[in-house]
């Protein structure tokens, strides 16, 4: 099974940049999207249905903001929108689809780059999603939490760790949360297969950053330890240019 996660930074803009042709080519069984920035009635959903996907869409209340979605060729047993905390659910930040033997969640973690208020909101989200995932594991040990975490975990995951040490997305408190999360029993699937530097999933639109590969790795497929042996490969699809992020892919047995 091929599973993709992709922060599309606006599904309508991505579709105008060739996202559908790319989707046909890669042909994932499941794809989790973040920052769709649209309601489902604002796009031609029949395109996805024609490709064999069921659509689960969870937009933010605010128009043109945030929102997550899952497209799947495998019919889920059940679907849950949100995490039962209204301040996050109003921003469309988490969507869960349950299959026969595991659950896939697509998540869009808040950014703290706009100031202290949103950074505080981000820390609250980190605390709450940590607890949410620990509780969920008790009833469903087979989980994959994929998406834009808006955090570089280690120095290897960012192009200039020294100059960014006080930047939201690479703050000590955020990195400590990633340490805690992975130590609690979640496997960073990409690092399971690849320990090399200069592998990034997001690049600023400024200063020709993408062409110079001055990026950040902030998108992850995190799998619970019972899923680890089922992970067969993990890759970053950096050639896809429909967004300031690129997709990430795992193959699951």
Across the range 206-232, mean pLDDT stands at 98
- CA–CA separation, 88 and 82 (whole Å): 8
For the chain, state the CA radius of gyration: 17
Question: What is the extent of the structural domain holding 219?
Answer: 2-252
Do the annotations mark residue 153 as ligand-binding? no
Across the range 110-124, mean pLDDT stands at 96
- CA–CA separation, 51 and 46 (whole Å): 9
Instruction: Identify the CATH number of the domain in which residue 127 sits.
Output: 3.60.10.10
- The number of C-alpha atoms within 13 Å of 160 and in the hemisphere containing its C-beta is 9
Supply the pLDDT for residue 159: 97
How far lies 141's CA from each of 42, 102, 196, in Å?
36, 8, 29
Supply the pLDDT for residue 93: 98
Supply the pLDDT for residue 81: 98
Tell me the residue ranges of DSSP E strands in 115-161.
143-148
Supply the pLDDT for residue 34: 99
Supply the pLDDT for residue 209: 97
Collect contacts of 55-62 with beta carbons under 8 A, ≥24 apart.
56/81, 56/95, 56/97, 58/82, 58/92, 58/94, 58/95, 59/92, 60/90, 60/91, 60/92, 61/90, 61/91, 61/92, 62/90, 62/91
Do the annotations mark residue 150 as ligand-binding? yes
Q: How confident is the model at residue 136 (pLDDT cuts 50, 70, 90)?
A: very high
Number of Cβ atoms within 10 Å of the Cβ of 56: 20
Supply the pLDDT for residue 227: 98
Supply the pLDDT for residue 84: 97
Q: How confident is the model at residue 45 (pLDDT cuts 50, 70, 90)?
A: very high
Do the annotations mark residue 89 as ligand-binding? no
Closest CA to 76 of 103, 108, 38: 103
Supply the pLDDT for residue 66: 98
- CA–CA separation, 123 and 220 (whole Å): 18
Do the annotations mark residue 199 as ligand-binding? no
Number of domains in the chain: 1
> For residue range 168-181, what is the model confidence (pLDDT) as tens digits?
999 999 999 999 99
DSSP lists the bridge partners of residue 236 as: 248
Closest CA to 89 of 129, 147, 33: 129
DSSP letter at 42?
Answer: G
Q: How confident is the model at residue 246 (pLDDT cuts 50, 70, 90)?
A: very high
Across the range 214-238, mean pLDDT stands at 98
Q: Which residues are catalytic?
A: 108, 148, 245
Do the annotations mark residue 244 as ligand-binding? yes
């Amino acid at each position: 099974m091929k599973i993709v996660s992709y922060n599309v930074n606006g599904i309508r803009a991505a579709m105008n940049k060739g996202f559908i042709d790319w989707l046909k080519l890669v042909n994932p069984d499941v794809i989790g999207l973040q920052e769709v920035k649209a309601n489902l009635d604002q796009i031609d959903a029949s395109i996805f249905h024609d490709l064999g996907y069921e659509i689960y869409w969870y937009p933010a209340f605010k128009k043109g903001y945030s929102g997550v979605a899952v497209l799947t060729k495998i019919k889920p047993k059940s679907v849950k929108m949100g995490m039962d905390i209204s301040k996050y659910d109003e921003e469309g930040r988490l969507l869960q689809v349950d299959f026969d033997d595991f659950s896939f969640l697509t998540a869009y973690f808040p950014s703290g780059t706009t100031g202290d208020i949103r950074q505080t909101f981000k820390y609250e989200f980190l605390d709450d999603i940590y607890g949410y995932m620990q509780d969920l594991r008790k009833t469903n040990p087979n989980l994959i939490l994929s998406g834009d975490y808006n955090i570089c975990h280690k120095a290897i995951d960012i192009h200039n760790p020294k100059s960014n040490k006080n930047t939201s997305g690479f703050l000590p408190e955020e990195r400590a949360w990633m340490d805690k999360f992975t130590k609690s029993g979640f496997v960073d699937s990409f690092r399971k297969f690849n320990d090399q530097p200069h592998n990034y999933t997001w690049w600023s639109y400024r200063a020709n950053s993408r062409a110079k590969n001055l990026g950040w790795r902030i998108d992850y497929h995190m799998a619970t330890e019972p899923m680890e042996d089922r992970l067969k490969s993990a890759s970053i699809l950096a050639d896809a240019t429909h967004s300031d992020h690129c997709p990430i892919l795992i193959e699951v047995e």
